[in-house]
């Protein structure tokens, strides 16, 4: 609502496709204009370049809070302050940010914040959308069905208050219960303890991989998430991932649903190691050993 022909949306080149494709729908169907914010090789945002993208037609900013490829965190509050100064709303994609350190949406002062259940050790098919009440109250429903209505007659219909207005039909009950259980477990374990463990693993992995002269690392931002994107020089990341898999080490290989960022980095794909609360230092050693083996096989 409120975005029409010529209205502008600001995205960055390191967005996940899930925060790109819906905005392309508005470009295709309503004539909206997408403006792109570049980042440096580590995923850092230039705030002056960001502010220069705004105009009187800018309606919304939709940016990642933490890159799923480079692990770099964006300065959420500063981004929000600049957007609001120009009369625009801001959405932060927290699918990674919510996992690796916790989130305070009031401190961020964002209008929307989104996260997904399966990144929070919960089920697939469920997520969370936070919306500022004053903004959400003004939004019309996007889907019709049970629960989202207040009164239906043959002449008219009135709608429920948020959040029910946006939850038509039967919700994913089991998935929501599972997500709640996962969040309770994370809270009981301690978000700071989880973050400290992940950070120690990432520091070990970065130090060890940096010693391998055949490994290319992407993104070295300070205080980055425990996400390490890499390639073995001259080898396809799918081949590397296959060899690691046979050695019992699971990594992701491909463009990571971030093709604009791959083009920005001059790569078609990378491998990516992501560390979580259940990983161990021995598994970091297994990754390094597996990469040595992959290099020997592929050189």
Q: For strand 252-254 and strand 215-218, is the pairing parallel, antiparallel, or unpaired? A: unpaired
Q: In the prediction, which pLDDT does 224 show? A: 93
The two structure tokens encoding residue 70: 């480079």
Per-residue pLDDT, averaged over 78-90, amounts to 99
- 213-225 confidence digits (pLDDT tens): 999 999 999 889 9
Q: Once rounded to an integer, what is the mean pLDDT over residues 131-148?
A: 95
| Residue at 226 is within a domain | yes
68 CB contacts (<8 Å, ≥6 apart)? 16, 95, 96, 227, 256, 257, 258
Residues with a catalytic annotation lie at: 257
Domain-embedded: residue 244? yes
Indicate the number of domains in the chain. Answer: 1
CATH number at residue 276: 3.90.1150.10
Top-confidence residue, 260 or 1: 260
Cα 21 → chain centroid: 14
Region 282-296 average pLDDT: 98
Name the residue among 224, 297, 299, 232 with its Cα closest to residue 271. Answer: 232
Residue 174 lies in a domain: no
The span from the first CA to the last CA of the chain, in angstroms, equals 54
Q: Which domain holds residue 213?
A: 190-294
Q: Is residue 71 part of a domain?
A: no
270-274 and 227-232 beta bridge pairing: antiparallel
260 by DSSP, 3-state: which?
helix
Average pLDDT over residues 29-55: 98
The model carries a pTM of 0.95
Please report which confidence band the pLDDT of residue 102 belongs to, taking 50, 70 and 90 as the band edges. Answer: confident
For residue 141, pLDDT over 90 is answered with yes
Q: Is residue 59 part of a domain?
A: no
Mean per-residue pLDDT, 16-29: 98
What pLDDT was estimated at residue 135? Answer: 96
pLDDT attached to residue 134: 96
Residue 72 lies in a domain: no
Residue 283 forms part of a structural domain: yes
């Amino acid at each position: 609502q409120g975005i029409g022909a010529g209205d502008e949306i600001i995205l960055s080149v390191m967005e996940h496709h899930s925060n790109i494709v819906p905005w392309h729908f508005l470009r295709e169907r309503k004539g909206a204009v997408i403006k792109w914010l570049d980042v440096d090789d580590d995923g850092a945002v230039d705030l002056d370049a960001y502010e220069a993208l705004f105009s009187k037609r800018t309606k919304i900013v939709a940016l990642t809070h933490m890159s799923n490829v480079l692990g770099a965190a964006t300065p959420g509050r500063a981004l929000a302050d600049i957007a609001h100064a120009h009369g625009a709303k801001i959405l932060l994609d927290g699918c990674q940010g919510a996992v690796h350190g916790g989130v305070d949406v009031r401190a961020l002062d964002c209008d929307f914040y989104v996260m997904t259940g399966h990144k929070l050790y919960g089920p697939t098919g469920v997520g969370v959308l936070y919306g500022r009440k004053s903004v959400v109250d003004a939004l019309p429903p996007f889907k019709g069905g049970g629960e989202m209505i207040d009164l239906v007659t043959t002449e008219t219909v009135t709608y429920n208050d948020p959040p029910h207005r946006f939850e038509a039909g039967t919700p994913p009950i089991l998935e929501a219960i599972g997500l709640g259980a996962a969040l309770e477990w994370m809270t009981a374990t301690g978000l700071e303890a989880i973050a400290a463990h992940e950070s120690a693993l990432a520091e070990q992995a970065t130090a060890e991989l940096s010693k391998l002269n055949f490994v290319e690392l992407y993104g070295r931002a300070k205080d980055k998430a425990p996400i390490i994107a890499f390639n073995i020089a001259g080898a396809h990341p799918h081949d590397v991932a296959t060899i690691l898999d046979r050695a019992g080490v699971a990594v992701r290989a491909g463009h990571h649903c971030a093709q604009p960022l791959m083009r920005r980095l001059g790569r078609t794909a990378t491998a990516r190691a992501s560390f979580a609360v259940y990983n161990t230092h021995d598994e970091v050693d297994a990754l390094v050993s597996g990469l040595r083996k992959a290099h020997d096989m592929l050189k």
